[in-house]
Amino acid sequence: MESKNDNQQKSISPLNFSNTQDDFNPQNNENISRKEDNSLNESANKKKVLKKDSKSKHFFIKFKAEWINKTHSNYKTWILEVKGDQYKFFCKACMKNYSCDYLKLHEANETHLRNVEKYGKEIADEASNLYFFEQLFNNKMKITTFIIQNNLPLSLAPRLATLMQNCFPDSMLAKNLTLNEKNTKEIIFAIQEYIRSEIYDIIKEKPFSLLVDESTDASNKKQLAFIVRYLSNEYQYEYALIDMIHVEQTDSKTLYSNFKQVFRNDDALIKNLVGISTDGARNMRGIYNSLSQKILASNKNIYSIHCLCHVTNLIAKRAHTALPSDIMFFVKSIYSYFSRSALHNDEYINLQKNLNVSPLTIPEPNPTRWTGIYDSIRVILERGQFWNNIFIRK
């Protein structure tokens, strides 16, 4: 047995005393605090991992091929594999993705059972299912093309889809027909890219010419249009608008960059370009620094011409200055007389109806529209018999 004095001596031995000194060393205190911080961080990280595991504990079951392949499987008629996510399945009856952990619960779900009973015949075999999805996508395409062809706003897409659902409540296709502005844009871009790719495949093998022109749209934004002309397989000339780009600057460097972008910087496409047509602006056809000169620098065999439509318009404008100014004043005055007064316009239309003549409105003689002035003069000449009845009588 050791005495208490011996224990006390041991406790105050030099070795123990040195240890106690180290404990009070500030440097050691920093190390201890760092170790405590590290341990706290490790425990916090462990908690985060545990939280993640607790959140993801429902995603342990993977999709099994036997659910589809086995003939005695109860899921075969209404289940599909979700590509890109092995922990989910797609229910053809409910038209949604679900976690594989909830497969048995979903099978007994009342809503699912009602859908299987209602649409069981339509989703029974794989062939009809593929046909169903194909028809569903075709219907979305038809609605989108209808909107484009009639120049309707894209916000109308969800309303048209809802209209189809209300008109055909018993149709599964109508029930699952959902469209919004975003989906409609995606379909438009897909159609646009498909058509553009087809054109690129053609002009890679055949020579083509290019028409480049810039214009201002209704929103007062500059748009740069690219139109190609090529010979089809039926030996007919085809015209196609391959792109229209919004441009903020119209200097030759920017225009040439847009040109390269449209043709994807593909030399195989540009090498078949045999001619380019533009207007007479300096940035398009200037001698020293223009779009035409930059394209010619890459291929000297390309033929550049001034667009004949622009040339004809310049000739017509110059010829118009030789005519008396009273002619255009007369045309604009007649248009203004009827367009600015609903009473005068109704009188003009009723007079045509009384004489059993199909009513014709007078188009605006817009100088920026090349055929605008022609259309106005043509209508005025065709309805010349009415001007005496309207103006002289007054």
Residue pLDDT, tens place only, 324-333? 888 888 888 8
Specify the pLDDT at position 270.
86
Say which amino acid occupies 323.
L
Query: Among 28-32, 112-116, 254-258, which stretch is predicted with the lowest mean pLDDT?
Result: 28-32
The answer to whether 131 touches 121, Cβ cutoff 8 Å, is no
Query: Among 46-55, 66-75, 349-358, 383-392, which stretch is predicted with the lowest mean pLDDT?
Result: 46-55
For residue 380, give Cα distances in angstroms to 129, 322, 328, 356, 375. Answer: 61, 21, 12, 18, 9
Specify the pLDDT at position 124.
59
The answer to whether 152 touches 159, Cβ cutoff 8 Å, is no
**Confidence check: pLDDT of 226 > 50:** yes
**Confidence check: pLDDT of 163 > 90:** yes
**Confidence check: pLDDT of 17 > 70:** no
Query: Among 34-38, 102-106, 115-119, 277-281, which stretch is predicted with the lowest mean pLDDT?
Result: 34-38
Mean pLDDT of the chain: 79
DSSP sequence for 86-150: TTEEEETTTTEEEEGGGHHHHHT-HHHHHHHHHHTTTTSSHHHHHHHHHHHHHHHHHHHHHHHHT
**Confidence check: pLDDT of 118 > 90:** no
Of 330 and 20, the one with more pLDDT: 330
User: What's the mean pLDDT in 97-108?
Assistant: 88
**Confidence check: pLDDT of 23 > 50:** no
DSSP for residue 237 = E
The answer to whether 262 touches 243, Cβ cutoff 8 Å, is yes
The answer to whether 123 touches 92, Cβ cutoff 8 Å, is yes
Query: Among 89-93, 143-147, 164-168, 260-264, which stretch is predicted with the lowest mean pLDDT?
Result: 89-93
User: What's the mean pLDDT in 56-67?
Assistant: 73
**Confidence check: pLDDT of 211 > 90:** yes
On whether the pTM is more than 0.85, the answer is no
The answer to whether 76 touches 87, Cβ cutoff 8 Å, is no
Confidence of residue 16 (pLDDT cuts 50, 70, 90): very low
**Confidence check: pLDDT of 300 > 60:** yes
The answer to whether 275 touches 249, Cβ cutoff 8 Å, is no
Of 393 and 29, the one with more pLDDT: 393
Specify the pLDDT at position 37.
52
Say which amino acid occupies 344.
H
Residue ranges per structural domain of the chain: 1-58, 66-124, 147-189, 204-311, 325-392
- The domain defined by 204-311 folds into Nucleotidyltransferase; domain 5 (3.30.420)
Query: Among 83-87, 96-100, 181-185, 378-382, which stretch is predicted with the lowest mean pLDDT?
Result: 83-87
Specify the pLDDT at position 228.
95
Specify the pLDDT at position 80.
82
Share of the chain above pLDDT 70, in %: 79
User: What's the mean pLDDT in 141-161?
Assistant: 92
Distance between start and end Cα atoms, the chain: 141
